[in-house]
Amino acid sequence: MRAIPRRTSEPWRVGVLFSRSGCTSVIEETQLRGTLLAVEEINASGGIHGREVVPIVYDPASDPGLFASCAKRLMVENGVTTIFGCYTSSSRKAVIPVVERLNGLLWYPTPYEGFEFSPNVIYTGPAPNQNSVALCRFLMQHYGSRFYLIGSDYVYPRESNRVMRELVRDNSGSVVGETYLSLRAQHRDFLPVLCEVRRLQPDVIFSTVVGESTACLYQRYSDTGLDPRRMPIASLTTSEAEVMAMGADVGQGHITAAPYFESVRTPANSSFVACYRKRFGNDQPTNMCAEAAYFQVHLFAKALAEANSLETDILRSAVLGLEFDAPQGRVSVNETYGHADLWTRIGRVDSRGGFEVIEQSRAQVRADPYLIESGRAL
């Protein structure tokens, strides 16, 4: 159903919720940048039906409770229906009841643990079948089958580690240890963990540590004298932004699975990287979360151009099935799950803090958030 177009020059107001302070602000700040860059591009080319897109931006300070109250404020006080936002799964899970109750649409640009569906969310980061499965296969082929799991203590790490544990065990591997630390863990907190790793000598450390403490983990690993050529840290979230925070020398040799790295060679990426660096500083790399934040706003603009309405039910049906030439390659929104079909890549940190792509899918991988179609075979 299409809305009857109204003649107006009123802007399209949208909400934006990424943290500019707190323990996950380093990566969320880049998601804010990706969002604003796309909004600026859309407005520079005339807006949507001649109307500007105007973002209303709040800082939820890496606090899930604040994410929920900011989402409510956006919808109730600012009259917004579409919200771009959230990095941690705990912030997404805090915002979902708000958008479900008030019938809003949350656009979520972050890798997550899967096993979720909401008619009020469009997921543009990868689910486990788009990153964990390929990563597990790669690690078993190249390093071995004894895994040590370490994560921050909240839903994404615990659930992603559960998926990884099942993948490892179903493919004749073993999990030799598993540890969780606070999202605010410091250098000293990682010392006992790395002592245990040295004692157990796994083939690989699978890390779901996120936020500021990511740098602490990799720096402690480096101080302990472990060798990424023999026992790398493998992650789904450590991107160019986290490597910049820890130092390229510390990150070099470690592995990440993601749909996007700055080094991806597509025409859309050359333009994205050039515009991002021009806008935010030549020393500021792009990363998978900034890229998803960027392309989801362009997908939104395509859907809005078709729907000419921000009403959630109308906009969502215009989004499903849409395609876009994103920096990572062509992506589309999967009609079954409202998740994006994305590329799968394995990257290794190089000496300059970028990622060398060492494996990639031949085409986009269909989102299968419940691992129904792909199963657990590698």
By the criterion CB under 6 A, which residues form the site for ligand ACM? Answer: 88-89, 110-112, 156, 210, 237
Nearer to ligand ACM, 110 or 145 (CB): 110
Nearer to ligand ACM, 165 or 302 (CB): 165
Q: Considering the complex, what minimum distance in angstroms separates the CB of residue 160 from ligand ACM?
A: 8
| H-state helical runs in 281-348 | 288-307, 312-319
Q: Considering the complex, what minimum distance in angstroms separates the CB of residue 89 from ligand ACM?
A: 4
Nearer to ligand ACM, 88 or 145 (CB): 88
Nearer to ligand ACM, 143 or 154 (CB): 154
With CB atoms as reference, the residue minimizing the distance to ligand ACM is 156
CA angle 125, 127, 128 (to 5 degrees): 140
- Give every CB contact of residue 42 below 8 A, 6+ residues apart in sequence: 48, 53, 297, 298, 301
Q: Considering the complex, what minimum distance in angstroms separates the CB of residue 50 from ligand ACM?
A: 37
Nearer to ligand ACM, 81 or 214 (CB): 214
**Strand-pair partners of 252:** none
Tell me phi and psi for residue 348, to 5 degrees.
-120, 135
CA–CA gap between residue 197 and residue 201 (Å, rounded):
6
CA–CA gap between residue 362 and residue 315 (Å, rounded):
31
Burial class (CB in 10 A: 0-12, 13-18, 19+), 295: buried
Nearer to ligand ACM, 24 or 328 (CB): 24
First to last CA, the chain: 42
Q: Considering the complex, what minimum distance in angstroms separates the CB of residue 224 from ligand ACM?
A: 25
CA–CA gap between residue 162 and residue 330 (Å, rounded):
30
Q: Considering the complex, what minimum distance in angstroms separates the CB of residue 8 from ligand ACM?
A: 37
For the chain, what's the residue count? 378
Q: Considering the complex, what minimum distance in angstroms separates the CB of residue 40 from ligand ACM?
A: 26
